[in-house]
Amino acid sequence: MKVAHNFNAGPCVLPKPAVAAAIDALQDFKGTGMSVIEVSHRSKEWEAVMEECRTLWKEILGIPEGYKVLFLGGGASMQFLYVAMNLLEKKAGYLETGVWAKKALKEAKGFGEAVAIASSADKNFSYIPKGYQIPSDLDYFHITTNNTIYGTEIKEDMDCPVNLVADMSSDIMSRPVDVSKYALIYGGAQKNVGPAGVTFVIVREDILGKVSRYLPTMLDYRTHIKEDSMFNTPPVFSIFVMNETLKWIKANGGLQAVHKMNVDKANLLYNEIDRNKMFEGTAAVADRSLMNICFVMTEQYKDKEEAFMAFAKERGMVGIKGHRSVGGFRASVYNACPVDSIKALVDCMQEFEKLNA
* Domains 16-251 and 253-356 are alike in CATH topology: no
What are the tens digits of pLDDT across the range 223-262? 999 999 999 999 999 999 999 999 999 999 999 999 999 9
Distances (CA, A) of 35 to 38, 90, 120, 257, 309: 5, 48, 47, 34, 40
Respond yes or no: is residue 167 known to be catalytic: yes
What are the tens digits of pLDDT across the range 9-18? 999 999 999 9
Question: Which distant-in-sequence residues (6+ apart) come within 8 Å of 258 by Cβ?
Answer: 173, 174, 175, 249, 252, 335
Q: Are 126 and 284 in contact (CB under 8 A)?
A: yes
- Name the residue among 231, 167, 173, 170 with its Cα closest to residue 196: 170
Which CATH entry fits the domain spanning 253-356: 3.40.50.970, 3.50.50.60, 3.30.365.10, 3.90.1150.10? 3.90.1150.10
Question: What average pLDDT is seen over the chain?
Answer: 97
- Name the residue among 74, 67, 65, 136 with its Cα closest to residue 107: 74
- Per-residue pLDDT band for 1 (boundaries 50, 70, 90) equals low
From the candidates 68, 155, 191, 265, which is the catalytic residue?
191
Could you tell me the maximum CA-CA distance found in the chain, to the nearest angstrom?
65
pLDDT at 163 over 70: yes
- Per-residue pLDDT band for 264 (boundaries 50, 70, 90) equals very high
Distance of CA 211 to the CA centre of its chain: 28
The predicted model gives 314-321 an average pLDDT of 96
Distance CA 237, CA 201 (A): 18
Q: How many CB atoms lie within 10 A of CB 110?
A: 12
What are the tens digits of pLDDT across the range 122-145? 999 999 999 999 999 999 999 999
Distance CA 222, CA 219 (A): 9
Q: Where does 16-251 sit in CATH, by number? A: 3.40.640.10
pLDDT for position 56? 98
In the three-class reduction of DSSP (H, G, I as helix; E, B as strand; rest coil), residue 329 is classed as: strand
pLDDT at 318 over 70: yes
What are the tens digits of pLDDT across the range 38-90? 999 999 999 999 999 999 999 999 999 999 999 999 999 999 999 999 999 99
Residue 11 preceded by cis peptide, ω within 30: yes
What are the tens digits of pLDDT across the range 206-221? 999 999 999 999 999 9
What are the tens digits of pLDDT across the range 294-317? 999 999 999 999 999 999 999 999
Q: Are 186 and 76 in contact (CB under 8 A)?
A: yes
3-state class percentages of the chain: helix first, strand second, coil last, to nearest 5: 40, 15, 40
What are the residue boundaries of the structural domains of the chain, listed by start?
A: 16-251, 253-356
pLDDT at 2 over 80: no
Amino acid identity, position 90: K
In the three-class reduction of DSSP (H, G, I as helix; E, B as strand; rest coil), residue 220 is classed as: coil
Respond yes or no: is residue 178 known to be catalytic: no
- Per-residue pLDDT band for 324 (boundaries 50, 70, 90) equals confident
pLDDT for position 315? 95
Backbone φ/ψ region at 101: left (φ over 0), alpha (ψ -120 to 50), beta:
alpha
Percent of the chain scoring above 70 in pLDDT: 100
Distance CA 220, CA 279 (A): 47
Distance CA 243, CA 70 (A): 13
Going across the sheet that includes 292-297, the strands are 279-281, 292-297, 329-332
In the three-class reduction of DSSP (H, G, I as helix; E, B as strand; rest coil), residue 156 is classed as: coil
From the candidates 139, 167, 220, 287, which is the catalytic residue?
167
* pTM higher than 0.85: yes
From the candidates 100, 139, 171, 287, which is the catalytic residue?
100
